[in-house]
Amino acid sequence: MYKNKNLAIEIENLNFTYPDGTEALKDVSLKVCEGESLAIIGPNGAGKSTLLLNLNGLLKGNGSVKIFGTEINSSNLRDVRKKVGLVFQNPDDQLFCSTVYEDVAFGPMNLRLKEVEIERRVNDALLKVEMNGYKNHNAFHLSYGQKKRVAIATILSMNPDIIAIDEPSSNLDHNSQLSLARILISLLKTKLFVTHDIPYAALLCDRVIIIDSGKIVADGLLFDILSIPELLERHRLGFPPGFSIEKLKEDKNKLFH
Amino acid sequence: MKHSFLDKYSSLNSFIHKLDPRVKIITTLFFLIVVMTTSPIFLWAFLIYFLIELIILIISKIPILFILKRLLMLIPFILFIVIFAPFISKNGYAGSYNLGILRNLGDGFYNINSVLVVMNVVLKSFLSIIALILLSSTSPFSQLLLGFRKLKVPSIFTNIASFMYRYVFVIVDEVQRMVRARNARNYRGKWIWQSKVIGNMIANLFLRSYERGERVYFAMLSRGYDGDLILNYKYKMRWIDWLYLIIFSIILVLTMFFTR
């Protein structure tokens, strides 16, 4: 299945235990191809976010995490973080500068790029998330949906090959969710989304893995997995009332046409 | 929730606003030192200091009402000095207190020494605070910090100030949400046992801030942070900056010379 494509992420037997003894990841193995978009779903506290933090060396568990074939170690963190962009769940954690411009420029500045290049990247990134009119605004005074989009721009400006977003749809109203989905679909990168919003995952991804209690319990094509209601139920997942696979497929078609 | 900016008028467009923040930092510090070291008997010198501030205020187009409102915060501090003024001994040096209030009262409620102390504190504190308000409302906060950074202030101080500026409203919001959630459950703060709740809230706020700090740090590391905030400084020293710096310094040096 993976032979002819470049592997973007290759995780083998990853275990992670928090200092307080919580085993967040147990023997996780996962392969993600370049250009794939993958939804990581699971109930609260399943270890989804911990998995993301392991992808660019913020947390280091036992086992190997390879990004484009190179194993993460303390000497190549800089390169890994250039390749893997993480967007955190709460945009107030992601946006810490006094203006939107400074926040989006923060990554490129740390890459020690030239000023002209930084400006170009900031403009590009803000244009992609449709926030180019807000350069000199204070991030705190934006709406939640706008903050979320700026948070994504702060990662886009670093031009990563892999972009991983924690809970892209949380706290967003319907329209903001849809406009964000359009933006996310238009990004041609390897994409990972951590969520427990199944309809949203269905809009964005073709492949899904389910994590529960630190283990990957299912991995496959999204609509295949969603059509096993017992599997979803066993892991405290399910469709919101009124949703069905048919409706999801219909919604997805609408978004693309 | 919406809050006003700390540096509300910092994006106005005036001669003072266009000056390099470094010039403003240096002149403000110089001004503060000169004001602090002027003896309170030279009243005319304080008039000059006030005129300097008034001129800057007028050029920079900052509303006077804004400055007056900010000055209100000084009143509690000054009030204490005034209350304790009668206790200041007649013959001692400034700052020495005398509990024998009755002996002091015999010479009239306020002796000349205590009047000098009060005047000293009131004049100097008002002049200094006005100077600092002018500094912080004539440059955008981030550029002001960069100015400090360019003047070789260690990055740890400017970073802390920059995070404070970014997160103070987030924390205020968090407190407001906690207070609301508390009041919604019939908290009235009338009973002693309810005071425990305040302690819990403070502890809770500390934990939340601590955890947020950790998450922010992760977000920074993810974007290649390696210990120094690199930001671009928009200002350059032009001839007009030098001119302002020199004229300002000459005035201060002259008043210093005549008040010694």
Subunit contact B166:A96, Cβ cutoff 8 A = yes
CB A102 within 8 A of CB A135: no
Subunit contact A109:B2, Cβ cutoff 8 A = no
pLDDT in tens, B107-147: 555 566 777 778 888 899 999 999 999 998 898 887 888 89
pTM of the model: 0.73
Distance CA B58, CA B64 (A): 9
pLDDT in tens, B205-258: 889 888 888 888 888 888 888 776 666 677 888 899 999 999 999 999 998 888
* Min Cα separation B70/chain A (Å): 22
Q: For A246, phi and psi rounded to 5 degrees?
A: -60, -45
In chain B, whose CA is at the least distance from the CA of A155? B223
pLDDT the model gives residue B2: 46
pLDDT the model gives residue A99: 83
pLDDT the model gives residue B1: 41
Subunit contact A88:B230, Cβ cutoff 8 A = no
The whole-number average pLDDT for the span A197-210 is 90
CB B176 within 8 A of CB B3: no
pLDDT the model gives residue B103: 53
CB A94 within 8 A of CB A85: no
Q: Which residues of B fall within a CB distance of 8 Å from A109?
A: 230-232
pLDDT the model gives residue B10: 79
pLDDT higher than 60, residue A7: yes
Q: For chain A, which residues make up each domain, given as ranges?
A: 7-89+160-256
Q: Report residue B198's pLDDT band, with 50, 70 and 90 as the boundaries.
A: confident
Q: Report residue B93's pLDDT band, with 50, 70 and 90 as the boundaries.
A: low
CATH topology of domain A7-89+160-256: Rossmann fold (3.40.50)
In chain A, whose CA is at the least distance from the CA of B215? A93
Q: Which residues of A fall within a CB distance of 8 Å from B216?
A: 93, 96
Partner-chain residue, chosen from B2, B140, B216, that has the shortest CB–CB distance to A93:
B216
DSSP one-letter string for chain B: -----TTTTTT--SHHHHS-HHHHHHHHHHHHHHHHHS-TT-HHHHHHHHHHHHHHHHHHT--HHHHHHHHGGGHHHHHHHHHHGGGB-SSSPTT-B-S-HHHHHTT-SS-HHHHHHHHHHHHHHHHHHHHHHHHHTTS-HHHHHHHHHHTT--HHHHHHHHHHHHHHHHHHHHHHHHHHHHHTTT--S-SGGGHHHHHHHHHHHHHHHHHHHHHHHHHHHHTT--S-----------HHHHHHHHHHHHHHHHHHHHT-
pLDDT higher than 70, residue B199: yes
Q: b/e map of A168-186 (b: 16 or more CB within 10 Å)?
A: bbeebeeebbbebbebbbe
Q: Which two tokens stand for residue A202?
A: 């269905």
The whole-number average pLDDT for the span B66-70 is 89
Q: Report residue A126's pLDDT band, with 50, 70 and 90 as the boundaries.
A: very high
Mean residue pLDDT of chain B comes to 82
Q: Is A76 helix (H, G, I), strand (E, B) or coil?
A: coil
How many Cβ contacts (< 8 angstroms) between chains A and B? 81
Rg (CA), chain B: 23
Of B139, B124, B131, residue with least CA distance to B46: B124
Of A22, A156, B216, A47, residue with least CA distance to A11: A47
Distance CA A68, CA A65 (A): 10
pLDDT the model gives residue B49: 93
